[in-house]
Amino acid sequence: MLRTALLLLTACGTSSTLPPGAACTATSDCDADLQCLDLAQFSGTTCTVVGKQCTIVCTDDPSCATLGPKFKCFQGCGADKTCGNTL
């Protein structure tokens, strides 16, 4: 019985992926169609990467609509903008 239970756990897997806005370390951590991208924080003109989150690259606020109504498009430290949750 125990052996059967272990086989089922192994076959089904125990990992799950993370939703939009969740902290991550790699794209494989995130739900399908999301990437693990840098989260930028600005202080004046200085930009600092403060972590990574499951999100998408965007061009404007409507680009983030697929992630939910509270996601907006924010400038990153590089050329890309990313969607972030405004809670």
- Residue-level pLDDT at 39: 93
Q: Does 58 reside within a domain?
A: yes
- Cα separations (Å) of 28 from 6, 17, 67, 72, 78? 24, 8, 18, 23, 22
**Contact (Cβ atoms closer than 8 angstroms) between residue 40 and residue 50:** yes
| 25-84 pLDDT, tens digit each | 999 999 999 999 999 999 999 999 999 999 999 999 999 999 999 999 999 999 999 999
Measured distance CA(86)–CA(70) in Å, rounded: 5
Q: How confident is the model at residue 6 (pLDDT cuts 50, 70, 90)?
A: very low
Q: Does 7 reside within a domain?
A: no
Q: How many domains does the chain have?
A: 1
Residue 30 lies in domain:
16-85
The residue among 38, 41, 39, 36 whose CA lies nearest residue 24 is 36
pTM here?
A: 0.78
